[in-house]
Structure 1
Amino acid sequence: MVIFSDGCSSQYKSRTPFADVSFAEKDVQCSIERNYFGSRHGKGPCDGEGGVIKAALSRAVKNQEFIPTCPQAVYDFCQKSLAKSTNSFRRTFYWTETGDIQRDRPSRVVKTVKGTRKLHSVRSTGEVYALQSRDLSCYCILCLSDATGCENQRWVDSWRMLKLSPSTNTNTVVNSESAPDARLESDNQTDQPCEHVMETDAIESCISDTQPVGSSGFHVCDFILVRVESARGRPLMFLGQIVHKDGNLFQVKFMKRVSDGKYIWPTREDVSWVPTTEIISAISLKSLTNREHFLFDSDKIKAAAEVAELDLG
């Protein structure tokens, strides 16, 4: 398999993608040769398609026709407004569920490769943590047949072995969407949802004590008001968005209150699993400002807090 791409270090040209190439025979049962365009030479049709999607979303938001509350909402908008299929043109969107892509791969944690920016071609060798690399790419007859030499050897250097060194630091970030017991820390200790890890027994207890999800009427992407014990042990009401559900538990991404009815996403994600019984009610998003402020009906929020006898967090 021959791949051409740009040299973006966060996606294609860095130590982890190099490790993925070395595992090619094991992962996809074929060899991979990856080539990197020079700076500002990696534009292609996909970049134009990305521009079409961004422009359409921007127009819809400005015209107050659509509010991108979550990935699912964006996908639904693209399916409805941008998907096309004709005899000469096709634009298709695919939805990827959480867990479809394995992102926690400790075996691919390797040390940084020196001279990465100079490399423009790497290929697998059949041995993990081993690659062949060269500064420039070439697909002359000799190179295609893996024969000795190259028709362009005046400019293209020979393949050389590149050994990847597994890193001793194999600490990986826990995917909070993959396990109900994952809980990210709060920005600070003042009246934020307390740092709490739900053990397996506690989760089973919550599931047995709550009503079936079907009767709750809450769905992924909904904004909701939640009762949460703060770090000081005082119950407060917070606003968040459902990002995942597992049985009778909902994974909620909490927001930060700026003023009455105005919320933003905190700099550091605040995510927690909550049972249905802790959800007070759903709340509709009124609008989204250019400064990424989410506006809600402050009167409805205050009324819900009064009924639940809770202070706002």
Structure 2
Amino acid sequence: NQTDSYAVVSDLTHSKYSVWTFLKCIFDHHDLSGIEEIHVFTDNCAAQFKSRYVISNLCFLEDDLGLKLTWNHFAASHGKGAVDGVGGVVKGKVWIASKSRKVVVNSAKDFYECATTECDKINILYTPKEDVEANRSILDARFSRALEITGIQSYHSFRRADETHVYARQTAVSKETKISFTAFSKTETEIY
């Protein structure tokens, strides 16, 4: 069991397109041989991580990555969560280096180079906008069929059920109720 912290630097705003590209960048950075399942923990931001688009993409991630993936969302912590701490450390160290005139940061690439030097315990990765754009067409095809997920904010753990459904749970450890809903065709919600 190992925990690694990552910060992905880019020259784009975070969107439904960038989430998959950044995640793939992190997975490409690792040797995944021998790993069968990954648990992703992100914040609760609907614009980035907790949307029908990102959740519907779970139906494809097993095939894309060749492993099982469970996506867990932290409760809203309004800038005080672990992921915010990692980003805060990176931003703080780059700000100190820039303020002390050790480096001039004028671009995302400059930020990445400084962060790589200043943050030795955090894996810093750079993803240019071209990488995000390269994934846009395949993601658009997937996202175009994603239906709205009623009550998505009440769920905090998701995993693939099959090619058109994901399982959702109220909490990551909840075993009482698993709700299966389709991401691509309208069917009734099933409770297991």
TM over 0.5: yes
**Partners of 1:97 and 1:58 in 2: how far apart?**
21
1:35 touches 1:137 (CA, 8 Å); kept in 2?
Answer: yes
Paired letter, 2:126? W
Q: 1:93 is paired with a residue of what secondary structure?
A: strand
SS at match of 1:161: strand
Q: Identity of counterpart residues, as a percentage?
A: 22
Distance 1:137 1:74 in 2: 34
State the Cα deviation string for residues 170-211 of structure 1 (Å, max 9, x = none). Answer: xxxxxxxxxxxxxxxxxxxxxxxxxxxxxxxxxxxxxxxxxx
Work out the CA distance in 1 between the residues paired with 2:125 and 2:72: 26
Distance in 1 (CA, whole Å) between partners of 2:41 and 2:184 is 25
Is 2:158–2:168's contact at 8 Å kept on the other side of the alignment? yes
Q: Does 1:126 align with 2:162?
A: yes
TM superposition score normalised by structure 1: 0.40
Q: Is the 8 A contact 1:4 1:37 kept in 2?
A: yes
Give the whole-Å Cα distance in 1 for the aligned partners of 2:126 and 2:162: 32
Unaligned runs of 5+ in 2: 1-36, 186-192
Whether the 8 Å CA contact 2:70–2:158 is kept in 1: the answer is: yes
Q: Is the 1:15–1:111 Cα contact (8 Å) retained in structure 2?
A: yes
Residue of structure 2 aligned with 1:108, choices 121, 130, 142: 142
Cα separation, 2, equivalents of 1:25 and 1:49:
27
CA drift at 1:117: 0.9
Measured on the aligned residues, the alpha-carbon RMSD in Å equals 2.7
User: Deviation at 1:98?
Assistant: 4.6
Structure 2 CA distance for partners of 1:70 and 1:138, relative to 1, 3 Å: same
What does residue 113 of structure 2 align with?
Answer: 76
Structure 1 residue runs without a partner (length 5+): 85-89, 140-149, 151-155, 167-313
Structure 2 residue aligned with 1:272 = none
- Structure 2 match to 1:43: 81
1:47-68 Cα shifts (integer Å, max 9, x gaps): 3332222123333444454432
**Which of the numbers 82, 91, 95 marks the counterpart of 1:54?**
91
8 Å CA contact 1:31, 1:126 repeated in 2: no
Partner SS, residue 34 of structure 1 = strand
Is 1:138–2:176 an aligned residue pair?
Answer: no
Residues 1:52 and 1:135: Cα distance change in structure 2 (over 3 Å) = closer
